C-alpha cells in the first residue's frame, strides 16, 4: 500500500520512530517525483529523508523534509 498511489490506503511502520521503508524497483529507473502523505502518532516535529541507491550500491540523500 505504500506505493499504490491510492490516498485511502496507507502504510504504517508498526512502531514508534525511528522507522523506515525500502522500496526495490527491480531495475535502475529515473524518478522525477515523489509524493509523501504523512500521518503520524504522536504528532510533532519530524524529519523525513528520501535516499536513493545508485548502480554501485552507494546511497545518496536526495531530499530531507523537516516539519
Per-residue tens of pLDDT for the chain, all 67 residues:
888 888 888 888 888 888 889 998 888 888 888 888 877 878 888 899 999 988 788 999 999 998 7
**pTM (predicted TM-score):** 0.74
Question: Whole-angstrom Cα distance, residue 27 to residue 42?
Answer: 36
Q: Is the dihedral of CA 37, 30, 64, 20 positive or negative?
A: positive
Number of separate domains in the chain: 1
Question: For the CA atoms of 16, 9, 24, 61, what is the dihedral angle to 10 degrees?
Answer: -60
Q: Which domain covers residue 29, as residue numbers?
A: 1-67
- Given a contact cutoff of 8 angstroms between Cβ atoms, the answer to whether 23 and 2 are in contact is yes
Amino acid at each position: 500500500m505504500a506505493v499504490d498511489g491510492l490516498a485511502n490506503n496507507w502504510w504504517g511502520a508498526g512502531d514508534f520512530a525511528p522507522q523506515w521503508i525500502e522500496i526495490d524497483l527491480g531495475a535502475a529507473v529515473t524518478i522525477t517525483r515523489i509524493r509523501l502523505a504523512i500521518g503520524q502518532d504522536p504528532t510533532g516535529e519530524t524529519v523525513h529523508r528520501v535516499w536513493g541507491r545508485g548502480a554501485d550500491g552507494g546511497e545518496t540523500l536526495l531530499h530531507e523534509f523537516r516539519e
